């Protein structure tokens, strides 16, 4: 069956590329994917998908639908996910399918994800009679939003109810074209942010004893924050604590300012490490502020959880990929400090999130993600469609 799925994907290759270019020319940014959503929903309707739901998070954006296999075969449900949003960026490529929207570009490959999953829907419809369960398609808005992630809206809207396994692919312009990269366990980092206001008492620079200087506390906190990863996180774990900005309420040579403000970000993989870093930062702020007679207000926000791949699901994806791509093209990925809202699904059901390499210097598809010249090597897109469909079929066969 995996051979047949690959043949079908190859048969639909031209259509996959055309669909990807259609989305590329008509990009829509996070929570504005109204036309993209309409196109996806219409395509799924024509294919005969069931339970089509349109609009998540109180918007008209995002679609979920199901392909229901043999009646009564089993109750198993596999979810396949594509994110559909573009970035607020001007397209600087010189290609016939350049973005027609001055203010948006598919500079992360989500147009490719959408086209691959639509093609997978078509393949799965073709082999519907052989599916031992159902496949739920998740076309998710607003992956790039950060603060209001589309994945969370889908989860809140019930998109993950009854799901036994979830799979997702990200095209990758740093991975050689045609390679499939998987990783068991922690894969992409949790992304958190923090803000700190240190209040003291302003005064004259010549008489600090009449003031309470928040810059002294700020300086000590900056140093102490860097000791968290160095001294409190095991060398076998990974974490980053970064300071994004430091400013004072006045910036005059002979004035002691009233307040100092800072912000920054934290990246971690394991929830235990994430909890520890947050606690340590609060403890340092409280301790230093008490010691320097300042008042500290610390706000820590968890934006995106870490993407953790479940072992059996990921090894199934690996073996399916080996059959499709050939073992030489399937590799273990290193950890990635970037973040993905796919993590909201991976917290609910056993998951596998993987990379499909699209980097080719010849095809100019090796520019960084989110750069205005980002492009994908379209010759690998049929493999992404095949991978989605073959994973779903294998999972429903009970191969996990």
Give me the residues that bind Ni ion (CB under 5 A), please: 108
3-state secondary structure of 258: coil
Closer CB to Ni ion, residue 108 or residue 159?
Answer: 108
**Nearest distance, CB of residue 108 and Ni ion, angstroms:** 3
**Nearest distance, CB of residue 205 and Ni ion, angstroms:** 49
Q: How far is CA 342 from the centre of its chain?
A: 5
Q: How much helix, strand and coil, in percent to the nearest 5, is found in the chain? A: 35, 30, 35
**Nearest distance, CB of residue 106 and Ni ion, angstroms:** 10
Closer CB to Ni ion, residue 63 or residue 108?
Answer: 108
**Nearest distance, CB of residue 34 and Ni ion, angstroms:** 20
Closer CB to Ni ion, residue 86 or residue 284?
Answer: 86
Closer CB to Ni ion, residue 213 or residue 341?
Answer: 341
**Nearest distance, CB of residue 114 and Ni ion, angstroms:** 12
**Nearest distance, CB of residue 277 and Ni ion, angstroms:** 25
Residue nearest to Ni ion (CB): 108
**Nearest distance, CB of residue 170 and Ni ion, angstroms:** 6
Closer CB to Ni ion, residue 314 or residue 339?
Answer: 339
Q: How far apart are CA 148 and CA 341, in angstroms?
A: 10
Residue (of 390, 397, 395) closest to 126 by Cα position: 390
Parallel, antiparallel, or unpaired: how do β-strands 239-248 and 180-182 relate? unpaired
- The backbone region for 111, taken as left when phi is positive above 0, alpha when psi lies in -120 to 50, beta otherwise, is alpha
Burial of 35 (0-12, 13-18, 19+ CB in 10 A): middle
- SS3 track for 371-393: CCCCCCCHHHHHHHHHHHHHHHH
Closer CB to Ni ion, residue 199 or residue 339?
Answer: 339
Structure tokens at 328: 């030489």
Closer CB to Ni ion, residue 113 or residue 276?
Answer: 113
- Cβ pair 355, 171 in contact under 8 A: yes
Closer CB to Ni ion, residue 76 or residue 152?
Answer: 152
**Nearest distance, CB of residue 98 and Ni ion, angstroms:** 20
Burial of 328 (0-12, 13-18, 19+ CB in 10 A): exposed
Q: How far apart are CA 148 and CA 9, in angstroms?
A: 34
């Amino acid at each position: 069956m995996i051979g047949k799925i690959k043949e079908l994907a190859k048969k639909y290759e031209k259509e996959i590329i055309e669909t990807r270019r259609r989305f590329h020319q008509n990009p829509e940014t996070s929570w504005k994917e109204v036309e993209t959503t309409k196109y996806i929903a219409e395509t799924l309707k024509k294919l005969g998908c069931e339970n089509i739901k349109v609009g998540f998070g109180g918007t008209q954006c995002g679609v979920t639908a199901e392909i229901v296999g043999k009646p009564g075969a089993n109750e198993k449900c596999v979810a396949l996910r594509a994110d559909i949003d573009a970035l607020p960026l001007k397209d600087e490529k010189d290609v016939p399918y350049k973005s027609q929207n001055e203010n948006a570009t598919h500079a992360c490959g989500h147009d490719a994800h959408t086209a691959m999953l639509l093609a997978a829907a078509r393949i799965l419809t073709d082999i519907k009679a052989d599916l031992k369960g159902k496949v739920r398609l998740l076309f998710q808005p607003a992956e790039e939003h950060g603060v209001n992630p589309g994945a969370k809206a889908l989860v809140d809207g019930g998109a993950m109810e009854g799901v036994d396994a979830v799979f997702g692919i990200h095209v990758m312009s740093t991975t050689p074209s045609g390679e499939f990269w998987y990783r068991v366990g922690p894969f992409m980092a949790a992304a958190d942010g923090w803000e700190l206001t240190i209040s003291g008492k302003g005064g004259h620079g010549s008489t600090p004893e009449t003031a309470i200087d928040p810059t002294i506390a700020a300086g000590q906190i900056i140093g102490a924050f860097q000791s968290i990863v160095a001294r409190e996180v095991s060398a076998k774990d990974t974490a980053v604590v970064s300071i994004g900005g430091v400013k004072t309420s006045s910036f005059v040579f002979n004035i002691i300012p009233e307040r100092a403000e800072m912000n920054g970000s934290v990246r971690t993989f394991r929830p235990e490490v994430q909890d520890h870093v947050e606690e340590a930062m609060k403890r340092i702020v409280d301790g230093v502020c008490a010691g320097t007679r300042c008042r500290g207000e610390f706000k820590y926000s968890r934006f995106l959880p870490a993407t953790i791949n479940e072992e059996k699901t990921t090894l199934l994806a690996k073996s399916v990929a080996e059959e499709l791509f050939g073992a030489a093209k399937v590799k273990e990925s290193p950890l990635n400090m970037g973040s993905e809202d796919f993590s909201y699904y991976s917290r609910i059901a056993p998951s596998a999130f993987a990379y499909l390499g699209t980097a080719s210097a010849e095809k100019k598809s090796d520019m960084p993600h989110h750069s205005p010249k980002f492009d994908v090597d379209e010759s690998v897109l049929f493999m992404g469609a095949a991978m989605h469909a073959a994973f779903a079929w294998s999972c429903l066969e009970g191969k996990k």
